[in-house]
Structure 1
Amino acid sequence: MNYRIIGFVIGRILLVEAALLLLPMAVGLGYGESPVPFLIPMALLAVIGGLLSFRKPAHSALYARDGLAVVALAWIFMSIFGGLPFYISGDIPRFVDCIFETVSGFTTTGATILTEVEPLTRGGLFWRSFTHWVGGMGVLVFVMAILPMGGDGHGMHMLRAEMPGPAPGKLVSRMSDTAKILYGIYLVMTIIEIVLLAAGGMPLYDACIHSFGSAGTGGFSCRNLSVGAYNNPYFDIVIGIFMMLFGVNFNMYYFLLVKRFRDVFRSEELWAYFIIAAVAVGAITVDIVELYDSVGTSLRHAFFQVSSIMTTTGYATVDFNTWPTFSKAILVALMFIGGCAGSTAGGLKVARVVILEKASVGEMRRMLHPNAVPAIRFEGKPLSERNIRGVYLFLAVYMAIFVLSCLLVSLEQMDLVTVFTAVATCINNVGPGLEIVGPMGNFSSFSPFSKLLLSFDMLVGRLEIFPMLLLFAPSIWKRRLAAPQRQADF
């Protein structure tokens, strides 16, 4: 473990977080609010970050386990310092709640302990949603896009640990250029959504808040009733469409820009993503049509909620907790499926679901024909045993953490649906669940222990499990110089 380079990289990340706090502070000043809640954490971040990154170590090699440690520690520290503005301003009186809210923001989960959000300071509300935008594409990806990190292999190790999906890769030869391309596309799409919402009559502040939530597929709103507070079909359609767009692998947008249309239209994951969404929308529309005055209204609400839950955003136009059981079961299933690999969405990812389906069919064929060696292909390429084993391993560890978390949260003596969906919505980075944690509910009634556990689940889900778990492995902290380690594609 190369402690010095880990400290150096984390120091730079903390400096970037200090700079990010300038934007919500400026918004707060524009509304006549005190800058102190942001100045204090900015000063702490600047001092600590400056001390850690004052001088780059002579030995700057960053291997696989170093990259995993950097990503996990960076997200933890950013969440702790990111919660200070809420605590200092008094927006959230308990620091455990501040940590929960900030982890929920950076991991783009959208779960909240707040019973009402409208009384918060404007700067605080802006920072709360801005964490979605920063965390959506990835904190480390953002840092790599604006600051040089040294060797290109260093960035690849961190990208693998932070980017959602089975096998992230480079779009171009340099990792830093890949990060710039991704964030460039991300920024342009966010600005387009802001413009469209503002053009439809939404106040600019509100348009920024909801665009940050859509882009990061997070779901924090500045209204107690979420998007439903506007009761505007135009807003529902615009936000619903952009949530679906941000749930697509961002590589597809790059391929469109460079006119590699064949790579887009032949993407198995992309087709599966839209087919699953279309089937879910159709089924829910038929199931809820009796609750609303027309098929059009039912279709609009079904599309919005499927888009919101499948992309793990968590916005709501209606209280889907009152929908029929069949519709709620579909939404819970979509929580686990999630969006595409390489998007800002959470969940297992459509790519893994497709690979698991193909691998299962292949195993059944092998049982019927023992001498056959069925080739499993994904996105036009054959999958190695290592790839398939990695997906199975990911699912096994994911289910183990999910079950253990359910058991521990069940000590709260809440109903089973609340416990199950609370853990599901946190580990899949969705936001709302059912019953107490439904779209019009919150997590305020949970104990501090459960809030910290669910915060851990949010980080586990966002960072694809292994970076967080490896922090508890004693061998990762041994100080020795080793050859670069290979990392499995999960």
Structure 2
Amino acid sequence: MNLHMVIYLLGWLLLCEGALMVLPLLVAFLDMDSGISAFMITIALCLLLGWLMVRRKPAKRMLYLREGFVVTALGWIVISVFGALPFLFTGAITDPISALFETVSGFTTTGASILTDVEVLPRSLLFWRSFTHWIGGMGVLVFLLTLLPLTGGSHINLMRAESPGPQVEKLVPKVQSTAKILYGIYILLTILEILLLLAGKMPLFDAVTTTFGTAGTGGFGIKNNSIAGYSTYLQNVVTVFMILFGVNFNFYFLLLLRRFRKAFSMEEVRAYLLIIAAAILIITLNIRDMYESPLHAFQQAAFQVGSIITTTGFSTTDFDLWPEVSKTILVLLMFIGACAGSTGGGIKVSRFTILFKSIRKELHHFIHPQRVEKIVVDGHTVTHEVLRSINVFLITYFVVFSVSVLLVGFDNHDLITNFTAVAATLNNIGPGLELVGPIRNFSLFSGGAKLVLIFDMLAGRLELFPLLLLFTKETWKRF
């Protein structure tokens, strides 16, 4: 374990976080609210500690996959701890575990909150809550990849550790260039959504914070009723962009290269859009009598399907009141999630695509035992190593899920609440059902249960293994 390199990169993360906090500090100065001193102290702490950690450059600057996983897991914990300080310093949240829960929920783009009334917060904190979604959506380490000169395969090892999905491909030969392309697409889509929201007469502050929540597929709102109070046009814009940010960003890169046929032949993207269309149709038919017109039912169904499958978590209605079929579909969408290589969470459509092809292959093998059949996705043969990693991921996922439901159950809440609370945090969604439904929050859980859910949010965002590796002895052996 190259500990000096790990400490060096963690220092850069703190410097980066301190620099990013300048934006909410500016909002605090504009409003002259209580966030001024809180953000100034936090920025000073980040910069001071970060400087102490980076002033001595490590002799060996190579970062292997093990170090990449450790930096990623510790990095997300560190930025969450320091990101929680403004909530504590302003007194908006007095309990350290609750403050950490709120910040982890922000950075992991979960959107689960312990706050009962967000509208009483100063605007600087509201901005910071939403901004953590935008930072965490693409990943702060991916941002650092565009800036830091590292040795050999260090860049790809960091990207593999942080990027959601079963595999990470370089869009161009240099990983730093890939990171710049990804952030370029991310920023362009962010700006486009802000402009369209402004065109619908949404206030600038609302447009920026809502876009941060949409782009990061996070879901922190600045209103107690989330997005329900805005016009139908604004809700439709958010619906479209939630779905767009749930698409594999390789799709947009291919569009920029005008390789339209290859882009629209991506099986994961087609499956993702098909799942969305089918879910919207079934739910619309199921809830049509609850709204004044079929069109309104369709609009509400489209928003909630887009919000849940992309793991954004915004809401325009209390879907906990919907019929059981509709709620069941939403729970299933929680597990499916968005595309790999997007800002969305969940198990990922790509894994399910490969899984169903594996099942079909096994069925064919029973009928034709001598037949040799390969699993092909987008013209590429899926290797045994990829299949193994998906199987191990799914087994680990359900073990973590089951243990979490058991541990949270000690709070003695009902099973649906516990089950969907874990589903909402492990899949980085936000709202669940019953006591953690869209019009409620997670403040009812004890400190111990919140720590379990914090672990789930981090594990879900980091695809389980980077966080789990922190608990193995072999990870910390020095070389």
Q: What TM-score do the two structures reach when normalised by structure 2?
A: 0.99
Whether the aligned pair in 2 keeps the contact of 1:126 and 1:209 (CA below 8 Å) is yes
Task: After TM superposition, give the deviation of residue 152 of structure 1 in Å.
Answer: 4.9
Match of 1:483 in 2: none
Aligned to 1:388: 387
- C-alpha contact 1:135 1:216 (8 A) present in aligned 2: yes
Q: Name 1:28's counterpart in structure 2.
A: 28
Match of 2:274 in 1: 275
Distance, in Å, in 2 between the alignment partners of 1:332 and 1:423 is 11
State whether residues 79 and 99 of structure 1, in contact with CA within 8 Å, keep that contact through their aligned partners in structure 2: yes
Aligned partners of 2:72 and 2:51: how far apart in 1? Answer: 19
CA distance in 1, matches of 2:366, 2:140: 45
1:168 is aligned to 168
Correspondence for 1:63: 64
Cα contact 1:417–1:435 (8 A) shared by 2: yes
Which residue of structure 1 lines up, in the alignment, with residue 316 of structure 2?
Answer: 317
Cα deviation per residue 1:306-337 (whole Å; 9 max; x = unaligned)?
A: 00000000000000010000000000000000
Q: Equivalent residue for 2:371? A: 372
Determine if contact 1:310/1:334 at 8 Å carries over to the other structure. Answer: yes
Residue 43 (structure 1) shift = 1.0
Distance 2:32 2:41 in 1: 18
Q: Distance in 2 between matches of 1:44 and 1:99?
A: 17
**Aligned counterpart, 2:91:** 90
> What are the within-5 Å matches in structure 2 for residues 1-150 of structure 1?
1-34=1-34, 35-145=36-146, 147-150=147-150
- Asked if the contact 1:152–1:176 (Cα under 8 Å) also holds between the matched residues in 2, the reply is no
Measured against aligned partners, the alpha-carbon deviations of 1:179-200 in whole angstroms (never above 9, x if no partner) come to 1111111011101111111111
The structural deviation recorded for 1:176 is: 1.1
SS in 1 for 2:119: coil
The answer on whether the counterparts of 2:62 and 2:152 sit within 8 Å (CA) in structure 1 is no
- 1:201 match: 201
Corresponding residue for residue 488 of structure 1: none
- Of 62-71 and 373-382, deviating more is 373-382
Give the residue type in structure 2 aligned to 1:427.
L
Gaps of 5+ in 2: none
Matched residues in 2 for 1:366 and 1:374: separation? 8
- Using the TM superposition, give the Cα deviation of residue 33 of structure 1 relative to its aligned residue in structure 2, in angstroms: 1.6
Q: Is the 8 A contact 2:408 2:418 kept in 1?
A: yes
Distance 2:96 2:122 in 1: 17
**Once the 2 structures are TM-superposed, how far is the Cα of residue 434 of structure 1 from its aligned partner?**
0.2
CA distance in 2, matches of 1:152, 1:235: 46
CA contact (8 A) 1:152 1:175 kept: no
- How has the CA–CA distance of structure 1 residues 148 and 183 changed in structure 2, closer, same or farther, with 3 Å as cutoff? same
270-279 or 56-65, which deviates more: 56-65
Cα distance in 2 between the residues matched to 1:152 and 1:351? 29
Give unpaired runs (5+ residues) of structure 1. 481-490
Which residue does the alignment assign to 1:257?
Answer: 256
Q: Deviations over 1:244-264 (max 9, x none)?
A: 000000111111111111221
Q: Structure 2 counterpart of 1:91, which letter?
A: A
Contact kept in structure 2, 1:86 and 1:98, CA below 8 Å: yes
User: Deviation digits for residues 437-481 of structure 1, max 9, x if unmatched?
Assistant: 00001000100011111010000000000000000000010011x
Partner of 1:399: 398
- 1:331-387 per-residue CA deviation (whole Å, 9 max, x = no partner) reads 000000000000000000000010000011111211222222211111111111111
**1:440 partner SS:** coil
Other structure's SS at 1:226 match: coil
Partner of 1:462: 461
8 Å contact 2:357–2:375 — kept in the other structure? yes
Contact (CA 8 Å) 1:117, 1:222: kept in 2 or not?
yes
SS of residue matched to 1:118:
helix
Asked whether the 8 Å contact 2:276–2:305 carries over to 1, the reply is yes
Separation (CA, whole Å) in 2 of partners of 1:135 and 1:149: 22
Residue 20 of structure 1 and its aligned partner are, at CA, apart by 0.5
> Which residue identity lines up with residue 478 of structure 1 in the other structure?
K
Q: Which residue of 1 aligns with 2:283?
A: 284
Label 1:451 to 1:149 Cα distance change in 2 as closer, same or farther (>3 A).
farther
Alignment partner, residue 177 of structure 1: 177
Could you tell me whether the CA contact under 8 Å between 1:37 and 1:84 is conserved in 2?
A: yes
Q: Is the Cα contact below 8 Å between 2:135 and 2:216 reproduced in 1? A: yes
- 1:430-469 to 2 correspondences below 5 Å: 430-469=429-468
| Amino acid in structure 2 at the alignment position of 1:58 | A
Q: For 1:185-240, what per-residue CA distance to the aligned partner results, in whole angstroms no more than 9, with x for missing partners?
A: 1011101111111111111000011100000000000000000022x110111000
Distance 2:51 2:308 in 1: 40
User: For residues 311 and 152 of structure 1, what CA distance do their matches in structure 2 show?
Assistant: 34
Between the aligned partners of 2:3 and 2:149, the Cα distance in structure 1 is 16
Task: State how many pairs are aligned.
Answer: 478
- Given that residues 152 and 174 in structure 1 are in contact (C-alpha distance below 8 angstroms), is that contact kept between their aligned partners in structure 2? no
Residue by residue over 1:402-457, the C-alpha shift from the partner in whole angstroms, topping out at 9 and shown as x without a partner, is 00000110111101100000000000000000001000010001000111110100
1:186 corresponds to: 186
Q: Which amino acid aligns with 1:20?
A: L
SS at match of 2:227: helix
Paired residue for 1:425? 424
Partner of 2:218: 218
Higher alpha-carbon deviation: 72-81 or 363-372? 363-372
TM-score normalised to structure 1 length: 0.97
User: For each residue in 1:277-301, what CA deviation from the matched residue of structure 2 results, as whole angstroms up to 9, or x when unmatched?
Assistant: 0000000000000000100000000
- Confirm whether residue 343 of structure 1 aligns to residue 339 of structure 2: no
Deviation beyond 4 Å, 4+ runs, structure 1: none
